[in-house]
Amino acid sequence: MARPRFYREEFNTDRFHTFQVQFRETDILAGVNHGAFHQSMPSVCSEVIQSLRNLLNEYGARRKEFLTSHHPLPGDPDAPPVVNKMIECGRRSGTGPMSSVAGLFAFETGRALLRLFDITELMIENGGDIYLVNHHEIYVTVYAGDSPLTNKLSLVIPPGRWGISTSSGTVGHSFSYGKADAVTIVCEDPVVSDAWATAVANRIRNKTDIEKTLKFVETVPEILGCLIIFKDRMGVRGRFKIQPAEIKI
C-alpha cells in the first residue's frame, strides 16, 4: 500500500496542473503547465509504471542480487538498457542498483509524457525524487522531518532539465546507513541523482560528517548541487543558490 506523502501539499498548483498515479508500491505525482494536461496522461503514466515494474521483476527473478544488493554489481550485457543504467549508477556511486529505482520511474514517466504531449514545463515526483523540466527559475523546498530546518530552505533551480533527489535516514521507509534528516542532490538525470542521494546520505551519521562529505561531493563532477541537513546543521555545495523558503515548487 502506498504511504501518504504529506509534503506534496507544498507543491505549487498555481504553476502546475497536478495528478497522481498509483500502482502497487509506486506512487507518482505528476505536474504539467496549465493548458497542457490531457485526460489520457494518467493512463500513459500507469502504462509506463507497470511496464517498468514487470521488466525489473522479471530481471530480478533471474538475478536476485539485483533487487537486494546494497553494493555495486557487475554490468550484464544481456540486461535491458534501463537495468544496466541502474547498475552503472550504482557502480559510480558505490551503492546497489536499486538505489536509483525511484529516479528511474520518475525519469521514464516524464520522458513518455514529453514524447507524447506538447508540454512546456514538467514535474514528476516519486518518493522524494523529481524529474524537472522548467523554462523559468523554480524554488525547491527541502523537507527534513523533525529538523528545525525542515521546509525552511529552498534550492533555486534555473531553467533546464534536472534530476533532484532527496534521501533521509530519519524520514520515510527507504533504507539508509546514515542519519541525515535530508540530503538533496541535483544532477542532470534523476536516475543519477537518486543513486548519489543515497550514497551521500549513507555517509552522514553525525554533524562532523557534514564537512568531510561535502569535500567528497566536490570530487564528483556529475553532482551539480548538494544540500545536507542534520538536525540543526546544514552544509551546501554546488552551483545552485540557497535561500529561505518562500516560493514552493
Other Cβ atoms less than 10 A from the Cβ of 19: the count is 15
Distance from the first to the final alpha carbon of the chain: 26
Q: Using an 8 Å Cβ cutoff, are 203 and 178 in contact? A: yes
Give the start-to-end residue ranges of the domains of the chain: 6-244
| Angstrom distance (rounded) from CA 50 to CA 39 | 19
**Beta strand spans in 103-221 (E):** 122-126, 129-134, 138-141, 153-157, 160-167, 182-187
| Angstrom distance (rounded) from CA 59 to CA 6 | 33
Q: Residue 46: what residue type?
A: S
What pTM value is reported for the model?
A: 0.93
| Angstrom distance (rounded) from CA 203 to CA 70 | 14
What CATH number matches the domain at 6-244, 3.30.360.10, 3.40.50.300, 3.10.520.10, 3.40.1280.10? 3.10.520.10
Exposure letters 228-249 (e unless 16+ CB within 10 A, then b): bbbbebbbbbbebeeeebeebb
Exposed / middle / buried, residue 73 (Cβ in 10 Å: 0-12, 13-18, 19+): middle
Q: Using an 8 Å Cβ cutoff, are 36 and 135 in contact? A: no
Best CA proximity match to 103, nearest among 222, 6, 215: 222
**pLDDT tens track, the chain, 249 positions:** 333 344 455 667 788 999 999 988 899 999 999 999 999 999 999 999 999 999 999 999 999 999 999 999 999 999 999 999 999 999 999 999 999 999 999 999 999 999 999 999 999 999 889 999 999 999 999 999 999 999 999 999 999 999 999 999 888 767 789 999 999 999 999 999 999 999 999 999 999 999 999 999 999 999 999 999 999 999 999 999 999 986 555
Other Cβ atoms less than 10 A from the Cβ of 51: the count is 12
